[in-house]
């Protein structure tokens, strides 16, 4: 996707923009109008422009792509001053005057794929002692999916024909996270929160490796056949101001993530479906998600399928 297409999509997301505007308004009201803001992953400068219009005294925009040049141009055409522009990864930036507020909207479809956690932990050093951080918390959710529609959209490999065996390509491709619009009707069971993060400004930093094991009893599911799993998240921009990307929430440009299985799992009454999730967003790794599904019958785990986003790369 081109850089400008990414920004077109996210700037067209009114729910996102409204939530961030309200959070900035609240933060600036709490800190006072003389505040200094550092915008990590500033993109086209949108959040810094809002912050200046809401009364922030100064914003430093940090962005590693050429979008920073567009941000400079947009600042000029909107007559917004009081801005510094730095083209760099935030982890490489040194010597900034301490800020009252760090804001970073670097959430991915899979929430942590743009290394939001690592960028926010590192950005603690930009803050004054009682400074604020937006976002302040994140929860990640998972639910089993029973949807031949979703599976068929992805698993096209058996229908290509021409007497070609494309199985190796199929398993490579299924080892990927897919960005999809998942309907509530695609969910086979209730969601579970598998990860809860607080972006604190001090104290122990959360680990970049996030793990969880979740189970759903077959009796609570609305279908015995599981094709994969849905992931989504809910962010707290600032206390009391949240945005959810759940299938039953207002649609956002983030949509949901679909994690396919290599083969559907069919459950009998009394079985459990188990999902193990592991994500690793250490800077040396980038982003890696592993998901394993098993059927648990009478305490015995079987039909284990292990998928890994690293294996999905060509
Ligand atoms: C989702 S976009 C959001 C842009 C802008 N904050 C907004 O809300 O319109 C995230 C941007 O952050 C940049 N980015 C992500 N992590 C960064 C980091 N640690 N340092 C600098 N730029 C970063 C990406 O290149 C991308 O342009």
Q: What is the pLDDT of residues 26-63, one digit of tens each?
A: 999 999 988 999 999 999 999 999 999 999 999 999 99
Which atom of ligand 1 is nearest to 42's Cα?
A: 6
pLDDT greater than 80 at residue 265: yes
DSSP-derived secondary structure letter, 206: P
pLDDT greater than 90 at residue 93: yes
Main-chain dihedrals φ then ψ at residue 197, nearest 5 degrees? -125, 140
Other Cβ atoms closer than 10 A to 45 = 26
89 lines ligand 1 (CB under 6 A): yes
Is residue 294, in this structure, part of any structural domain at all? yes
List the domain range (segments joined by +) for residue 288. Answer: 138-308
pLDDT greater than 90 at residue 1: no
Nearest-CA residue for ligand 1 atom 4 is: 43
| Domain count along the chain | 2
Q: Is 238 helix (H, G, I), strand (E, B) or coil?
A: strand
Q: Are residues 43 and 183 in the same domain?
A: no
Q: What is the pLDDT of residues 250-261, one digit of tens each?
A: 999 999 999 999
Nearest-CA residue for ligand 1 atom 14 is: 41
Q: What is each CA distance from 47 to 20, 40, 43, 203, 274, in whole angstroms?
A: 8, 10, 9, 27, 40
Residue 94 near residue 164 (C-beta atoms within 8 A): no
Q: Where are the beta strands (DSSP E) in 116-166?
A: 127-134, 137-145
Domain boundary among 105, 129, 156: 105
236 lines ligand 1 (CB under 6 A): no
Query: For the chain, what percent of residues have pLDDT higher than 70?
Result: 100
pLDDT greater than 90 at residue 303: no
Q: Which residue has the tokens 């599981």?
A: 226
Q: What is the pLDDT of residues 56-83, one digit of tens each?
A: 999 999 999 999 999 999 999 999 999 9
**Both ends of the chain: CA-CA distance in Å?**
18
Q: Are residues 157 and 278 in the same domain?
A: yes
72's tokens = 């400079």
């Amino acid at each position: 996707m081109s850089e400008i297409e990414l920004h077109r999509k996210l700037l067209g997301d009114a729910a996102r923009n409204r939530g961030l505007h309200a959070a900035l308004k609240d933060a600036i009201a709490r800190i006072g109008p003389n505040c200094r803001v550092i915008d990590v992953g500033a993109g086209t400068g949108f959040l810094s422009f809002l912050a200046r219009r809401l009364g922030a005294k100064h914003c430093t925009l940090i962005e590693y792509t050429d979008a920073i040049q567009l941000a400079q141009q947009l600042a000029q055409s909107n007559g917004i001053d009081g801005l510094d522009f730095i083209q760099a990864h935030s982890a490489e930036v040194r010597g900034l005057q301490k800020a009252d507020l760090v804001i970073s909207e670097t959430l991915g479809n899979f929430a942590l794929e743009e290394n939001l956690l690592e960028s926010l932990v590192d950005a603690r050093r930009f803050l004054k002692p009682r400074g604020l951080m937006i976002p302040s918390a994140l929860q990640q959710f998972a639910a089993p999916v029973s949807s031949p529609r979703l599976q068929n959209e992805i698993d096209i490999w058996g229908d290509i024909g021409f007497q070609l065996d494309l199985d190796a390509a199929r398993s490579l491709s299924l080892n990927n996270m897919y960005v999809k619009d998942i309907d509530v009707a695609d969910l086979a069971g209730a969601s579970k929160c598998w990860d809860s993060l607080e972006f604190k400004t001090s104290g122990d930093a959360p680990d970049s490796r996030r793990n969880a094991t979740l189970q759903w009893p077959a009796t609570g599911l609305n279908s015995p056949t599981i094709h994969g799993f849905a992931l989504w998240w809910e962010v707290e921009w600032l206390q009391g101001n949240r945005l959810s990307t759940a299938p039953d929430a207002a649609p956002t440009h983030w949509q949901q993530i679909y994690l396919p299985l290599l083969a559907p799992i069919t459950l009998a009454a009394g079985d459990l479906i188990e999902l193990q999730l592991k994500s690793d967003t250490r800077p040396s790794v980038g982003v890696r998600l592993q998901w394993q599904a098993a059927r648990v019958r009478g305490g015995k785990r079987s039909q284990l399928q292990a998928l890994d986003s690293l294996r999905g790369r060509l």
